[in-house]
Amino acid sequence: MSSWSLLLWVGVFAVIIYFFMIRPGKKKSDEQRNMMNSLQPGTRVMLTSGIFGTIETMGEQQVVIELAPGTAITVVKQAIAKVLTEADEEFEYADEDAIETSKDKPALTDGTEQTGEDGQDDVIVESEAADPDTETAEAPASADDAAVDEAKK
Protein backbone atom coordinates (compact mmCIF):
# COMPACT_ATOMS: atom_id res chain seq x y z
CA MET A 1 0.00 0.00 0.00
CA SER A 2 2.94 2.37 0.56
CA SER A 3 3.85 2.23 -3.15
CA TRP A 4 0.32 3.48 -3.96
CA SER A 5 0.66 6.40 -1.57
CA LEU A 6 4.08 7.27 -3.02
CA LEU A 7 2.60 7.20 -6.53
CA LEU A 8 -0.28 9.40 -5.34
CA TRP A 9 2.16 11.97 -3.86
CA VAL A 10 4.19 12.06 -7.09
CA GLY A 11 0.96 12.68 -9.04
CA VAL A 12 -0.12 15.47 -6.68
CA PHE A 13 3.34 17.06 -6.97
CA ALA A 14 3.16 16.90 -10.81
CA VAL A 15 -0.26 18.60 -10.80
CA ILE A 16 1.07 21.36 -8.50
CA ILE A 17 4.07 21.95 -10.79
CA TYR A 18 1.75 22.14 -13.82
CA PHE A 19 -0.61 24.71 -12.28
CA PHE A 20 2.07 26.89 -10.69
CA MET A 21 4.86 26.78 -13.30
CA ILE A 22 3.93 25.42 -16.71
CA ARG A 23 0.39 26.79 -17.16
CA PRO A 24 1.22 30.49 -16.34
CA GLY A 25 4.22 30.42 -18.72
CA LYS A 26 2.11 28.97 -21.52
CA LYS A 27 -0.62 31.53 -20.87
CA LYS A 28 1.89 34.39 -21.02
CA SER A 29 3.41 33.14 -24.29
CA ASP A 30 -0.09 32.83 -25.82
CA GLU A 31 -0.85 36.44 -24.83
CA GLN A 32 2.46 37.60 -26.37
CA ARG A 33 1.71 35.71 -29.61
CA ASN A 34 -1.79 37.24 -29.80
CA MET A 35 -0.36 40.71 -29.20
CA MET A 36 2.20 40.22 -32.00
CA ASN A 37 -0.52 39.07 -34.39
CA SER A 38 -2.65 42.14 -33.61
CA LEU A 39 0.10 44.66 -34.43
CA GLN A 40 -0.41 46.92 -37.42
CA PRO A 41 1.00 50.23 -38.69
CA GLY A 42 -0.13 53.20 -36.60
CA THR A 43 -0.19 51.26 -33.31
CA ARG A 44 1.56 52.93 -30.34
CA VAL A 45 3.90 50.50 -28.61
CA MET A 46 6.50 50.39 -25.84
CA LEU A 47 9.76 48.55 -26.50
CA THR A 48 11.50 46.36 -23.92
CA SER A 49 13.99 49.22 -23.42
CA GLY A 50 11.15 51.51 -22.32
CA ILE A 51 11.13 53.56 -25.53
CA PHE A 52 7.71 54.62 -26.84
CA GLY A 53 6.94 54.81 -30.54
CA THR A 54 4.46 54.24 -33.35
CA ILE A 55 4.71 51.33 -35.79
CA GLU A 56 5.44 52.61 -39.30
CA THR A 57 6.13 49.42 -41.26
CA MET A 58 6.09 45.72 -40.42
CA GLY A 59 8.08 42.88 -41.92
CA GLU A 60 8.34 39.18 -41.13
CA GLN A 61 10.93 39.62 -38.36
CA GLN A 62 11.48 43.37 -38.05
CA VAL A 63 9.40 46.48 -37.39
CA VAL A 64 10.16 50.13 -38.20
CA ILE A 65 9.17 52.27 -35.21
CA GLU A 66 8.80 56.06 -35.47
CA LEU A 67 10.07 57.65 -32.25
CA ALA A 68 9.44 61.26 -33.25
CA PRO A 69 8.43 62.93 -36.52
CA GLY A 70 11.20 62.11 -38.98
CA THR A 71 13.05 59.77 -36.57
CA ALA A 72 12.59 56.02 -37.01
CA ILE A 73 14.44 52.89 -35.89
CA THR A 74 14.26 49.28 -36.98
CA VAL A 75 13.87 46.64 -34.26
CA VAL A 76 13.06 42.94 -34.11
CA LYS A 77 9.44 42.14 -33.32
CA GLN A 78 10.44 40.56 -30.01
CA ALA A 79 11.61 43.99 -28.79
CA ILE A 80 7.98 45.14 -28.52
CA ALA A 81 6.94 44.76 -24.90
CA LYS A 82 3.34 45.91 -25.09
CA VAL A 83 0.71 47.80 -27.03
CA LEU A 84 -0.06 51.12 -25.34
CA THR A 85 -3.51 52.26 -24.30
CA GLU A 86 -4.64 55.81 -23.60
CA ALA A 87 -4.12 55.14 -19.88
CA ASP A 88 -0.45 54.29 -20.55
CA GLU A 89 0.22 57.59 -22.36
CA GLU A 90 1.33 60.40 -20.06
CA PHE A 91 1.84 62.93 -22.87
CA GLU A 92 -0.24 63.63 -25.95
CA TYR A 93 1.49 64.18 -29.28
CA ALA A 94 0.16 65.57 -32.53
CA ASP A 95 1.81 66.35 -35.85
CA GLU A 96 1.27 70.09 -35.48
CA ASP A 97 3.18 69.96 -32.18
CA ALA A 98 6.24 68.48 -33.90
CA ILE A 99 9.50 70.28 -33.24
CA GLU A 100 11.10 71.88 -36.26
CA THR A 101 14.03 69.77 -37.35
CA SER A 102 17.30 71.00 -38.75
CA LYS A 103 16.24 69.62 -42.17
CA ASP A 104 13.58 72.33 -42.33
CA LYS A 105 16.15 75.10 -41.88
CA PRO A 106 18.25 76.37 -44.76
CA ALA A 107 21.82 75.13 -44.74
CA LEU A 108 24.38 77.87 -44.17
CA THR A 109 27.74 77.43 -45.82
CA ASP A 110 29.40 80.75 -45.04
CA GLY A 111 30.45 79.76 -41.50
CA THR A 112 27.80 81.85 -39.76
CA GLU A 113 25.78 80.52 -36.89
CA GLN A 114 22.22 79.34 -37.44
CA THR A 115 19.63 80.61 -34.98
CA GLY A 116 16.17 79.28 -34.20
CA GLU A 117 12.91 81.13 -33.79
CA ASP A 118 13.71 81.85 -30.14
CA GLY A 119 16.98 83.57 -31.08
CA GLN A 120 19.19 80.92 -29.48
CA ASP A 121 21.88 79.10 -31.43
CA ASP A 122 20.79 75.70 -32.69
CA VAL A 123 24.08 74.85 -34.36
CA ILE A 124 27.40 75.70 -32.80
CA VAL A 125 29.93 76.75 -35.40
CA GLU A 126 33.51 77.60 -34.56
CA SER A 127 34.03 81.34 -34.91
CA GLU A 128 36.73 82.97 -36.99
CA ALA A 129 40.14 83.39 -35.31
CA ALA A 130 40.14 86.44 -33.04
CA ASP A 131 41.97 89.54 -34.17
CA PRO A 132 45.41 89.48 -32.44
CA ASP A 133 45.21 93.24 -31.73
CA THR A 134 42.15 92.85 -29.54
CA GLU A 135 42.43 91.82 -25.92
CA THR A 136 40.58 88.75 -24.77
CA ALA A 137 39.62 87.83 -21.24
CA GLU A 138 41.14 84.36 -21.31
CA ALA A 139 42.57 82.87 -18.15
CA PRO A 140 46.15 81.58 -18.38
CA ALA A 141 46.45 77.81 -18.68
CA SER A 142 49.07 77.47 -15.93
CA ALA A 143 51.05 79.45 -13.35
CA ASP A 144 54.02 79.70 -15.77
CA ASP A 145 51.79 81.25 -18.42
CA ALA A 146 50.52 83.74 -15.83
CA ALA A 147 54.10 84.79 -15.02
CA VAL A 148 54.88 85.28 -18.73
CA ASP A 149 51.72 87.36 -19.18
CA GLU A 150 52.71 89.55 -16.19
CA ALA A 151 56.21 90.08 -17.63
CA LYS A 152 54.74 91.21 -20.99
CA LYS A 153 52.61 93.87 -19.27
Predicted confidence band of residue 148 (pLDDT cuts 50, 70, 90): low
State if pTM tops 0.85: no
Q: What pLDDT score was predicted for residue 74? A: 95
Of 20 and 132, more confident: 20
Mean pLDDT calculated for residue range 106-116: 50
With contact defined as beta carbons under 8 Å apart, do 16 and 3 qualify? Answer: no
With contact defined as beta carbons under 8 Å apart, do 121 and 115 qualify? Answer: yes
With contact defined as beta carbons under 8 Å apart, do 58 and 41 qualify? Answer: yes
Look at residue 125 and tell me whether its pLDDT is greater than 70: no
pLDDT in tens, 25-63: 899 889 888 888 889 999 999 999 999 999 999 999 999
66 phi and psi, to 5 degrees?
Answer: -90, 120
Neighbours of 47 (CB within 10 A): 18
Look at residue 134 and tell me whether its pLDDT is greater than 60: no
Query: Structural domain boundaries of the chain?
Result: 1-38
- Residues above pLDDT 70, as percent of the chain: 59
Q: Distance between CA atoms of 62 and 24, rounded to whole angstroms?
A: 27
Which among 3, 86, 78 is positioned nearest to 36, based on CA atoms?
Answer: 78
With contact defined as beta carbons under 8 Å apart, do 45 and 84 qualify? Answer: yes
Extract the runs of DSSP E, i.e. beta strands, from 1-153. Answer: 44-47, 52-58, 62-68, 71-76, 80-83
Of 89 and 125, more confident: 89
What is the overall mean pLDDT for the chain? Answer: 75
Q: What pLDDT score was predicted for residue 132? A: 52
pLDDT in tens, 84-109: 888 888 877 665 444 444 444 454 45
